[in-house]
Amino acid sequence: MSAAGDSRVIWDSDDISRALKRIAHHILESNKGGDDLLLLGIRTRGVPLAHRLGAAIAQAEADVPVGELDITMYRDDLRRNPTRAVGPTRVPVSVDGRTVVLVDDVLFSGRTIAAAMEALKDLGRPKAIRLAVLIDRGRRELPIQADYVGKDLPTAPDEHVRVTLAETDGEDLVTIVSAKGA
């Protein structure tokens, strides 16, 4: 476990798997099955999470398409920073008429999700957009709420929630890192 300074491990791999399984069932329940669903992972860590959710849904019910969404060009702070690299957007089916579930690791200010909704609008007209996140750490700057949450984790402003995943970082962990101890 990486517990340097003031970092606290909140969840390990098993906790993450359980949460994703729960979210998968929740999605199927509220959608009344897997019809017309599309899971879109927000890059970077939303993508493996969306694939894991897709696998959990497939195990429980049926295959659903999974894609990835890069929101770099939709960020509202694009101009304030040096030019950012753009990642791929891969949407395997048309979003028109589907219930699109956006998937991300941490919900914080809500700006990433706002950008993702704008990006989605340029891809077509979904029937509905839902949001699934592994961790909701609060401190929203925009009126955005997740439909499916793995864990509510209220944090102080100087705390940072770090999600690492086997696919991107080598191990599954959710850690709170305090700025003082980071």
Partner 1 sequence: MRHLLSAADLSRDEVVSLLDVAEEMHEVQRRPIKKIPALRGRTIINMFFEDSTRTRSSFEIAGKWMSADTINVSGKGSSVSKGESLRDTMMTLDAMGVDCFVIRHGSSGAVAQAAGWVKAHVVNAGDGQHEHPTQALLDAYTMRRHFRDQRLAEGFAGKRIAIVGDLLHSRVVRSNVLLQRTLGGQVTLVAPPTLLPTGVERWGVNVTSDFDSVLERADVVMMLRVQRERMSGGFFPTAREYATDYGLTPQRLARLKPTAAIMHPGPMNRGVEISSEAADAASSRVLDQVSAGVAVRMSVLYHLLGGEGEAR
The token pair that represents 33 in the structure block: 């099955």
**Least distance CB 77 / partner 1 (angstroms):** 10
**Least distance CB 73 / partner 1 (angstroms):** 4
The token pair that represents 164 in the structure block: 């690492």
Between 122 and 152, name the residue whose CB sits nearer to partner 1: 122
Which residues sit at the interface with partner 1, rule CB under 8 A? Answer: 70, 73-74, 78-89, 118-119, 122-124
Burial of 14 (0-12, 13-18, 19+ CB in 10 A): exposed
Between 124 and 138, name the residue whose CB sits nearer to partner 1: 124
> Any alpha helices (H) in the chain, and if so which ranges?
13-31, 46-60, 111-123, 166-169
Between 10 and 91, name the residue whose CB sits nearer to partner 1: 91
Among residues 104, 118, 128, 99, which one has the least CA distance to residue 38? 99
Between 53 and 69, name the residue whose CB sits nearer to partner 1: 69
**Least distance CB 126 / partner 1 (angstroms):** 13
**Least distance CB 75 / partner 1 (angstroms):** 9
Name every residue whose Cβ is closer than 8 Å to that of residue 138 and which is 6 or more positions away in sequence. Answer: 108, 152, 153, 154, 155
